[in-house]
Structure 1
Amino acid sequence: MIRIGIAGIPYGAKGKGTEAGIRYLRSQGLDAMEIQFGRNVYMTPETAKSVAPVAREERVDLSVHAPYYVNLSSKTEKTIEKSKDWILKSARVGAALNASVVTIHAAREENLDLVISGFKEIVEDLKKEKISVPLGLETMGDLGEFGSVDDVLEVVRKVPGTGIVIDFAHIYARTDGGLNTVEDFTAVLDQVAGAGIDHYHIHFSGIEHKNSREVRHLPLDGKPDFSLLARALLKCKADATVICESPLLEEDALKMKQIIAGLEP
């Protein structure tokens, strides 16, 4: 099964809140939404508990995105501790939402040991609170920062309770346009499956990049080519959730859905 959704509140329900956003997405034929805590965790677990039944009723898969400022490889202990706190707060809300994953920009600098130790501590803290929601490390769009598929899967191997969020636009940027065939996308999916992961949580959009570094997200009609990913997902009969991060949100998410429908036998 391939679910398609968006990052944030759909444009058709702006200003009306999360519950209205969920209902609107479903009315449009979409079935996933990432609740974004870009600058702060604005939702409480108590509020999340009232949102969860709406998502369940509408059959919309929820995920959350932790604040963008997380950096577990920071040179300052204060930043690392604040990052852990943001992840813990996001996970508490994610658990109350029955979210499928908490998406995290784990680190900036390449320091695998710090990232692994940070996540081990976070997972232990969540266990003490009896919270079990997957922590998904997102692949990142800058060759100079932590966040390659190899980086993330190394954490996944060493820290139970963590997983990977495959951002194909970011991979395209950090490889300087390296996803150009169905086989290129399939290779990434196979690598993730080889780590024992049986559900793909995916971010996708067009992207502008320069010198193996992302510049900005773009609408779907650019590069990388979503139809190549769609073919790869159908080829491997994937169970996947694809979150559209295009500036056009639900408009491009619906294009994704149409592309997949046009390729299905």
Structure 2
Amino acid sequence: MKNKVFFGPAGSPVNYKGAAYKAPKYIQRIGLDSYEYQSPYGVRIGEKSARILKQEAEKFDILISMHGPYYINLCAKESEKIDKSIGHLIATARAGEWMGAYRLVFHPGFYTNQKPEKAMEISKQTINRLFEELEAEGIEDFTFAPETTGKRTQQGNIQEIVELCASFDHFEPTIDFAHIHARGRGYLTKKDDYNCIFSTIENKLDIDRLHCHFTTIEYGHGGEVKHHTLDESDEYGPQIEDLLANLIDNGWNANIICETPLRDIDALKMKELYESMI
């Protein structure tokens, strides 16, 4: 039986040399459980490759998620940017359906001098349009996973992400703990600091498996600056031990995608630490 918490890399493993859509065999062999396929600069994977990824993931028992393009902005002021964002999300959903991705991760957007309340209103209107176009395209098997964001100019604090997910079917959160830490200028410094995050989620959402991102992170006045490795955790937070202790104490099923520069190597360190704690 697998552990309640899964671990995997954001993108292909560091020392893996093959095609990204054939990575599950390698990921399983090194002892990890999941894989977040990356499409940050546009969805470029074709149907054939995506279906191979699904087959490989099923064969080697690897849980697949997909990160969509960075260009998405649900709350843009310009209608052209809204149209393009919807296009990127449809392309992500289509590829995600082919590859069997259980979550489609994306960054919601930027306030761009709008009040957060106005940005939220526009985002919800955009999502309603998105659903209409997905239905017209015949795309049915998808779960979007808006991510907590690391810069204070971005839509995506924990309350906003939970509100979006509580407002729509086919929406589940991606909780990026490093982004929460950076956005809060060092918010997560001890185990108890995670409690309000988990209580906010529990009060509003019914989640079977919490999709997470984790890295140690450098931040400045405006939030996120740079990702760092676990070995640099003495200098940069947050601490993975605090997150794991909370997940264990509260019995959470979770999938932690490692976003450090050593994504699979540090994911293994996280898994080994987790298994030493349970």
Q: Which range, TM-score by smaller chain?
A: over 0.9
Q: Which residue is equivalent to 1:173?
A: 182
Counterpart secondary structure, 1:163: coil
RMSD of aligned C-alpha atoms?
1.3
Q: Distance in 1 between matches of 2:202 and 2:54?
A: 29
Deviations 1:185-234 (A, max 9, x none): 23212211222232210000010000141001111232100000000000
The residue type equivalent to 1:207 in the other structure is: I
Residue in structure 1 matching 2:140, options 125, 131, 146: 131
Q: Distance in 1 between matches of 2:37 and 2:151?
A: 24
Gaps of 5+ in 1: none
Q: Which residue is equivalent to 1:10?
A: 13
Q: Distance in 1 between matches of 2:183 and 2:268?
A: 27
| Residues 1:92 and 2:102 are matched in the alignment | no
Gaps of 5+ in 2: none
Residue in structure 1 matching 2:166, options 138, 157, 160: 157
Residue in structure 2 matching 1:185, options 191, 194, 200: 194
The residue type equivalent to 1:143 in the other structure is: R
| Residues 1:27 and 2:24 are matched in the alignment | no
The residue type equivalent to 1:135 in the other structure is: F
Task: Report % sequence identity.
Answer: 28
On the 8 A contact 2:162/2:205 being kept in 1, the answer is no
CA shift for structure 1 position 123? 2.3
CA shift for structure 1 position 122? 1.3
Deviating more after overlay: 60-69 vs 151-160: 151-160
On the 8 A contact 2:57/2:64 being kept in 1, the answer is yes
Q: Distance in 2 between matches of 1:160 and 1:241?
A: 20
Q: Which residue is equivalent to 1:244?
A: 258
CA shift for structure 1 position 101? 0.4
Q: Which residue is equivalent to 1:226?
A: 240
On the 8 A contact 1:13/1:20 being kept in 2, the answer is no
Q: Which residue is equivalent to 1:118?
A: 126
Q: Distance in 2 between matches of 1:202 and 1:246?
A: 13
On the 8 A contact 1:12/1:24 being kept in 2, the answer is no
On the 8 A contact 2:150/2:179 being kept in 1, the answer is yes
On the 8 A contact 2:22/2:56 being kept in 1, the answer is no
Count of residue pairs the alignment pairs up: 263
On the 8 A contact 2:22/2:53 being kept in 1, the answer is no
Relative to 1, partners in 2 of residues 1:168 and 1:51: Cα closer, same or farther, differing over 3 Å?
same
Q: Distance in 1 between matches of 2:183 and 2:103?
A: 24
Q: Distance in 2 between matches of 1:20 and 1:125?
A: 31
Question: Residues 66-85 of structure 1 correspond to what in structure 2 (within 5 A)?
Answer: 66-85=68-87
| TM-score of the pair, normalised by structure 1 | 0.95
Runs of at least 4 residues off by over 4 Å = none
Counterpart secondary structure, 1:116: helix
Q: Distance in 2 between matches of 1:254 and 1:197?
A: 28
On the 8 A contact 2:164/2:171 being kept in 1, the answer is yes
Counterpart secondary structure, 2:155: coil
CA shift for structure 1 position 71? 1.0
Deviations 1:3-27 (A, max 9, x none): 100100111213x112432111110
| TM-score of the pair, normalised by structure 2 | 0.91
On the 8 A contact 1:208/1:216 being kept in 2, the answer is yes
Q: Distance in 1 between matches of 2:21 and 2:48?
A: 14
Q: Distance in 1 between matches of 2:211 and 2:267?
A: 15
